[in-house]
Amino acid sequence: MTKVDFYILPDTTLEARLAFACRLAETIHRKGYRLHLHAEDEAMAREVDDLLWTFRPDSFLPHALLDSEHADDVPVTIGWQGPPEPGVDAMLNLHPEIPEWFSRFERVAEIINQHQDVLTVKRECWQTYKNRGYPVKAHQLRG
């Protein structure tokens, strides 16, 4: 059964949320998981793609947009459309809603910041996961 982790940031900005997403993606990759970052839209996907190149000067995280020719060759994909190909272990969901195909992953990560819109939709996501019987765990992060 898919395990769901919510990471709760003290920050209010989208920039902080995406920066944490990059660090979390690096951690997930280091643990040996193939990862899909599910963005809200194409603009966010491209922003995350750029950030993964620059979020830390000493880091390299092999990644590609899901619709690119390199998507099958990298351990981290970024998309906003549909699901990645089978074989991906984890999803980092940056979309406000839960994709209907989330249960294909061993792990799902949700990132919450203190922006009211994000708080509202992610509370609903928390309830949806819980009501469907998925194990959900919160990680309160400090500033």
| pLDDT reading at 143 higher than 70 | no
What residues make up the domain containing 58? 3-140
| pLDDT reading at 60 higher than 90 | no
Give the number of domains in the chain.
Answer: 1
CATH (domain of 125): 3.40.50.10110
| pLDDT reading at 1 higher than 90 | yes
For residue 122, which of 133, 131, 112 has the smallest C-alpha distance? 112
pTM of the model: 0.95
74-133 tens-digit pLDDT: 999 999 999 999 999 999 999 999 999 999 999 999 999 999 999 999 999 999 999 999
d(C-alpha 40, C-alpha 44), whole Å? 6
Q: What angle do CA 56, 110, 101 make, to 5 degrees?
A: 115
d(C-alpha 29, C-alpha 76), whole Å? 8
d(C-alpha 43, C-alpha 47), whole Å? 6
| pLDDT reading at 59 higher than 90 | no
Cα-based distances in Å from 107 to 28, 90, 103, 104, 131: 10, 5, 9, 9, 17
Q: Alpha helix locations (H) across the chain?
A: 14-30, 42-54, 116-131
Looking at residue 39, its pLDDT comes to 98
8 A C-beta contact, residue 77 and residue 35: yes
